[in-house]
Structure 1
Amino acid sequence: MNKKVIVIDDEKMILDLTAMVLQHRGYEVFTADNALDGYEIIRREQPAIALLDYMMPRVNGLTALREIRQRFPSTYVIMFTGKGSEEIAVELMKAGAADYILKPFSNANLVDRIDAILRLRSIELRNRELLEEREKLLEEIAEWNRELERRVAEKSLELERAHAEILQNEKLAALGHLSAGMAHEIRNPLNSIGLFAQILRSGVEHDPEMVSYTAKIINEVERIDDILVRLLATSRRSPFQLRSIHVQEVIRQVVASFEEQARLQQVELVTEQVGEPPAILADGDELAQIFTNLIANALFEMRDGGVLEIRLEHADRLLTVTVGDTGKGIPPENLTKIFDPFFTTKEKGTGFGLSVVLRIVKTYGGRIRAENRPGGGTRFVIDIPLG
């Protein structure tokens, strides 16, 4: 227990007498004949009790009491006063005095009062420590809860993404079986229609109107055949040739092919490469198809200008490509549908482009996700394993 006591009184006899009594009872005593010196001793020694005279020159006892309680809250103050009015007692207690002693006082009364205040101080300081510990524990519990909620949210998001990937895989597998059968069943009569249309055209060459009709039939046949080719591409890999490919070179070539369109639309093309990613074993045409689809979609959404950003980086055996635009973004309800075959918001779209992108990314063991950018626009993030 802290048994340091400071006596602040402008009467030397009180200082000497009080110091002698308290030292005899085992207290470590410090004295000061004015409040300013007393502040410095309290700051340096941190006594448990300050015995403070009510009437002093320079700084009076009431002012000193308030100052000590504000600056040194762990030092409890007992006031000496020669005025025993009830008003002064109330004023002192309101200002923060732990007790007050009337002059003249007996040695026994002085010691008993100090012992009582020390016990009170010990209890209150312990309670304060317990409250601080309680607050600290509550904050730790709150932090644990926040961390638990964050981890649950992360795991829930991972499960949602895994579930979405499973559904996408199932859709692509089902589409593969469906498209293969459809292509076979549709192409046979389609070839017959195209053949007979060509025969008809050769027999009506003298009639321009009939020639235009047959030309329209042939064009529609070719359009349907093109749709079938795209449909097959979403689920079945075309003939490919694997070789060592630098993705940054593929991106550069694809971006170059869109430079004129971007200039006409007043779209700024920004490419960024972090480090020097190693080459990967891939088919260059397949990789080009990924970026062609993403850049074409981005430019479609920025017909009145904007910024198209492509960032390439790698870390931890993972190559990451981010393609972002400043268009109007994707409605939240569509974010889980954009990779579905046939899903499109374009008036003349087929809904195959992003399905093909997904199929190619998965071919290389990668992942792709779409998200809306905080400042507006859309961002596609592609992760492809290195090796």
Structure 2
Amino acid sequence: MTDQQGISWLNDTGAILNFIRRLIKDLPELQERLMDLNEGDLLFSQGDPLEHMYLVLEGNITLTRTQPDESEVKLITLGPGSFAGLIAFTTGEPTLTSGRISQKGQALKMRPQQFEQYLNDHPRLKHPLQQLMLNNMIQRYKSNLRLQTRTHLLSKELNKERNDLKKAYAQLEETHQMLVHQEKMATLGELVSGFAHEVNNPASALMRAAENLVEIYSKFESSHYSYKLFRLGLQSTPVDSNTQRNRMLMIEKRYPWIHDRSSVRKLAHMSDEALDLIDANRKKGEMDTLINHYEAGKMIHNIRIASQRIANLVKSLKSYSRQDQNKEEHADIREGIQDTILVLSNRLKFIDLNLKFNDIPKTCANIGDLNQVWTNIIVNACDAMKDQGKLTISTEATDDFIFVKISDSGPGIPEHLIPKIFEPNFTTKNQGAEFGLGLGLAISSEIVGQAGGEIEVTNKTGGGAQFSISIPIREDC
């Protein structure tokens, strides 16, 4: 036999086993080491010292390991040509596994001292056994590599599933927060609508009372001085503080006998035409009556203005709240922006508001939802400018889109935060900046996206931030 043929033979487990079986027939001491493998029998238990090693000639032995939770994991099945108890046999340590016969057969049972003796006494047996042990080690190593690879793949899949689960949970939390926010907005809309309805009744009553008073005064002769003073009071306009002070000095010189500061102040508010009318009809003891005729007209004028403002605010509140929030309508987006501005008038009273409303077509959209977008952005701008500065809102259109731009004169947004500005629960206010509403801008982005549009934010060259919103022009609702 050549060296190459010898190597090939030693690599053939079946040939080695046949060779060992022939040696067993020739060697009585090996025959004494033969044992039958009966299916179901336990050869050794995990953690026990192992006194023997088993070379499987026929049949199968299954190795298992008990986990801390007492569950049993099947590791490997050893067939003919395999050694059972090889690691414990080699290291002298307790066995790491349990071995149970899963298919009947035969095995060569050997103690460590006997194994070494067989190798020394029978040189022909030495190389085949060593080769079988080497083959077993190689197979165990390959099996371990496959197990490590599989474990790595499973670990990657587990990490991916865990990351997917985190994303799903984050999306679920985001959706939950948005639903909560939308529910609050819906409730707020109902409250606003109810409040507007209740306020509308007394406002209408004020308007009717004012008109009734005007009608009562109209029964006077139009040429009578009292009616003329009343009509002049209806047409009164406010004066600034500096003009008021100068006119009060003039009144004190013109009517030196009047010492009541309240009367002086009321006369200073009157027009020159009203003062001339008082001079022409003045009699001792009638000055207060003449002043009261003018004041009556002025008060009714103020009631008219206040009532009309209340009526306009009620109208805007009703329009802003939009009880049909889940319905689209064919409307002018500019009207929703104007309603939003009126509702936010308290926040805007110290803001230099610049409106550039170019003509735009009506479009099919959920105006109530869009009003929420304008509210979030305008409130953000007021926060950024600390309620002082310039706010510009413009509209324009192309054939397919309506564009709304809202820009402020605030500090702008740090460039590294712009990509995150529309993320849910992201706010820069906690970081010392002045922009971000947490859910507000995320919901705004969601609303614009549902409308088929886009929302972007940039920093202006001269300072401040600009939001650009595009809404598609649609005829169908």
Range of TM-score over shorter length? 0.3 to 0.5
Which structure has the larger Rg over C-alpha atoms? 2
User: TM-score, length-normalised on structure 1?
Assistant: 0.41
